Chains A and B, each alone.
Chain A
Amino acid sequence: MHHGEIVLLRGPNGAGKTTLLKVCAGLVPVTSGTVEVLGRDLTRHRAAVRRRVGMLGHATFLYEDLTVTENLDFWSRAAGATRDDGRAALVRLGVAERLWDLPVRALSTGQRRRVSFASMVCRRPELWLLDEPHAGLDADGRDVIDELMAEAASVGATVLFASHELDRAEGIAHRTVTISGGVIG
């Protein structure tokens, strides 16, 4: 994949889309062959790669008992960003301010998704790995996601996302990769 590219990953359930995303994030070890992400060999430099990668998965990656802002403050500062970056991301993702002081467990699925997205976005990763980013969001939310992906690509980040919503997905993706039975192509 190249800088500024948006790539759609599609395939049937169980084909290995989630696994591929996790491997690129350096979350799952490479057992054979080589993988290079952002110019670094993943088998040896997993930790270095991770800092520049952002992932949105099925799990929320948020502390349920902490509030929205507490989560964002923590995750943004952990990545070296500022609290303001975190708050700005919340606004961008359309998370209403009245929700900010609520614990994450009090939010609906869609709202949690937006908060997870915000915590990824504020870190400004160079590689976006999104596992079904549109799932659980209303039409409004999906538009925001599409905008964000396009913006990211325009500043040189690379986006790899897996989706079952082929109509919408193929609209924004530059190209498509199909995976089936654990094999690409």
Chain B
Amino acid sequence: MADYLAQIRLVLVKDLRLELRSRIALGQVLPFAVLVLFLFAFALDPDGDVLEVATPGLFWVTVLFSAVLILQRTFALEADDGVLDALRLSGLAPSAIFLGKVSALVVQLLVLEAVLAVGVAVLYDVTFSGIGLLVLVALSATVGIAASGAIYGALSARLKSRDTLLPVLLLPLLAPVLISATRGFEIGLRHEAGGGWSWIGLLSVFALAYLALGAVLFRPLLEDA
């Protein structure tokens, strides 16, 4: 068991180090995400209530698009230089590789979301109340996005059409996450009590289901897909 956790940790550290070195999430995707916030402001009238009301949805749509970009770049790194083959030869358990990758993605996404939250608070003049609920929603949604994203990211990693295929595959799958996370944020921002828990529950079910599925499916995925 300790060995297994060590393997997960090994992959996690390697992925985070790769991120720091290549600066995908921070250097490329983050500016894109902030840009999207501006685009929404240009498209919707910032003077009225629209932006403020739409903030939860816009936030999560931006997160989803950014997640797709991060996944594309992360798995492109793996697919180049035969590294994916090397991982297969490496002796690491495929499920450990999966969980390590998912952990790294969660970290990257949470950092992104934190910055976006600041951006939203500043640009859309939104005050964040109900922080506890918001954090829980964000956590459960992020794990779900990372887990399902890692599965589809790995599947499309070796394909030339990966850049167009990954969003087509992943975004419909994430529809319930978008719905739940947005509703959760709406409830949190309006400081309603109690209502958010069912959404957090649903997000957690999604996250756990895809963590389990990914851990099981990563072996055939690495091998044959």
Residues of A within 8 A of B (CB): 25-27, 29, 46-47, 50-51, 53-55, 57-66, 70, 74-75, 77-80, 103, 123
- The residue in chain B whose Cβ has the minimal distance to the Cβ of A28 is B85
B interface, CB within 8 angstroms of A: 7, 10, 14, 17-18, 21-22, 77, 80-83, 85-92, 219, 223-224
A-B contact count (CB 8 A): 70
Whether A62 lies near B83 (C-beta < 8 A) is yes
Residues of A within 8 A of B82 (CB): 57-61
* 27 A-B contacts (beta carbon < 8 Å): A26-B89, A27-B85, A27-B88, A29-B223, A29-B224, A46-B223, A47-B219, A50-B91, A51-B91, A55-B89, A59-B81, A59-B83, A59-B85, A60-B81, A62-B83, A62-B86, A63-B81, A63-B83, A65-B77, A66-B14, A66-B21, A74-B10, A77-B10, A78-B87, A78-B91, A78-B92, A103-B21
**Across-interface contacts of B83 in A (CB, < 8 A):** 59, 61-63
Q: Are the C-beta atoms of B81 and A78 separated by less than 8 Å? A: no
Distance in angstroms from A144 CB to nearest chain B CB is 21
A37 to B88, CA, bound (A): 17
Establish whether residues A80 and B91, one from each chain, have CB atoms under 8 Å apart when the complex forms.
yes
A61 contacts which chain B residues (CB < 8 A)?
81-83, 85-86
Question: What A residues does B223 contact at CB under 8 A?
Answer: 29, 46-47
- Interface majority SS on A: helix, strand, loop or mixed? loop
Q: How far is the CA of A114 from the CA of B103 in the complex (A)?
A: 32
On whether the beta carbons of B18 and A65 are closer than 8 Å, the reply is yes
A25 to B87, CA, bound (A): 13
**Residues of the B chain whose Cβ atoms lie less than 8 Å from the Cβ of A66:** 14, 17-18, 21
Question: B174 to nearest A CB, angstroms?
Answer: 28
Q: Closest residue of chain B to A119, judged by CB?
A: B86
A29, A57, A63, A70 pick with most chain B CB within 10 angstroms? A63
Which of B89, B219, B223, B224 has its CB near the most chain A CB atoms (within 10 A)?
B89
Measured CA separation A77–B6 after assembly (Å) = 10
A62 to B85, CA, bound (A): 10
With CB as the reference atom, state the residue of chain B lying closest to A71.
B14
